[in-house]
Amino acid sequence: MTAVLRLSGNTDAASPVRLANPVKKGGMPRLAANLAYLFTERPLLARFAAAAAAGFKAVELQVAYDHAPADIRREIERHGLTMLGINTPGASGGQSGVAGVPGREAEFAALFAKALDFAVGSGARTIHCLTGRVPPAEESAGERAFVANLARAADLAAEHGISLLIEPLNRRDRPENLLHLPEQAAAIIEQVARPNVRMQFDFYHVQIEAGDLTHRFERHLRAIGHVQIAAVPSRAEPDEGEVNYPALLEAIDASGYAGWVGCEYKPRARTEDGLGWARAYGIAAPA
């Protein structure tokens, strides 16, 4: 498979480029537990042990800024886990992020500095930079602000070997979210022109916003740094709904994608009771 990235905010643009992305051969998708969603029956610091007991080898967070980074790192090391990524902190005024909001560049810089300190202290490999809400009339200005903010942040992160992720979020769940299409994210990545800026491809969000999942994943493979899954439309375990995840995970594996597949779903009940779908991928709740 040849992964082609067309650098534009729409699907009709030409000028494909190819971005480096290590590939693997054989094996199976490597599942990571998103601890903002899984094992939430426990306090956060107890979720690492639960994830490891279920067979997960990696975890990701969203926000954990009310905990000391050293405490997170301790649990990671204690249970032999790989720490993937965190989100930038929530912003003032109810915004989930402001990386793409014109006029709030100083606020983003402060939030990113906090995220970078936390990532370094906890051992996280990536920081997801949330764009925030931008009215349609201001989208062009928002994208320019996003590119400039990412370029500065990527240079700071690179000093610590950390990558940035940008994620298209569907506008049904996140009205007016600036970044909402993989094609748009690909264009942003090309403009930023930093090797440590990649796309977080969440199949849940892409299916709701755009569909054509396999084609879009293949097309943007070289720009993708992380993958996430959940059922559509429920966002529950990926064993229900309109997406055929067994076939999709097989396609991800066959593509040579070398990263992790983040389980960012909302369990229907107790987390362990819903892990049957993941048994084929090396995950099983302890008896």
At 249-279, the pLDDT tens digits run: 999 999 999 999 999 999 999 999 999 999 9
Confidence of residue 18 (pLDDT cuts 50, 70, 90): very low
Instruction: Determine the average pLDDT of the residues in 154-180.
Output: 97
- Domain membership flag for residue 275: yes
What is the per-residue pLDDT across 72-104, written as a single tens digit (0 to 9) for each? 999 999 999 999 999 999 888 888 899 999 999
User: Choosing from 75, 107, 190, 264, which is the catalytic residue?
Assistant: 264
Query: At 80, which CATH number?
Result: 3.20.20.150
Which pLDDT score is estimated for 284?
A: 84
- Domain membership flag for residue 4: no
What is the per-residue pLDDT across 139-151, written as a single tens digit (0 to 9) for each? 999 999 999 999 9
Q: Among this protein's residues, is 167 annotated catalytic? A: yes
- Domain membership flag for residue 9: no
Helices and strands counted in the chain (H then E): 8, 11
- Domain membership flag for residue 18: no
Confidence of residue 45 (pLDDT cuts 50, 70, 90): very high
Given the DSSP bridges, would you call strands 30-34 and 197-202 parallel, antiparallel or unpaired? unpaired
* C-alpha span between 229 and 275 (Å, rounded): 14
Show the domain range for 41.
25-280
Instruction: Determine the average pLDDT of the residues in 1-13.
Output: 31
- φ/ψ of 276, rounded to 5, equals -55, -35
pLDDT of 22 strictly over 90? no
What is the number of domains present in the chain? Answer: 1
Which among 260, 236, 222, 193 has a CA at the least distance from the CA of 56? 260
Confirm whether pTM is higher than 0.75.
Answer: yes
- Domain membership flag for residue 20: no
Instruction: Determine the average pLDDT of the residues in 152-169.
Output: 98
User: Choosing from 60, 167, 190, 209, which is the catalytic residue?
Assistant: 167
pLDDT of 217 strictly over 70? yes
Confidence of residue 27 (pLDDT cuts 50, 70, 90): low
Confidence of residue 29 (pLDDT cuts 50, 70, 90): confident
pLDDT of 125 strictly over 90? yes
Quote the radius of gyration of the chain (alpha carbons, Å): 18
Q: Among this protein's residues, is 159 annotated catalytic? A: no
- Domain membership flag for residue 19: no
- Domain membership flag for residue 209: yes
- Domain membership flag for residue 59: yes
Which pLDDT score is estimated for 213?
A: 96
Contact 188, 168 (CB under 8 A): no
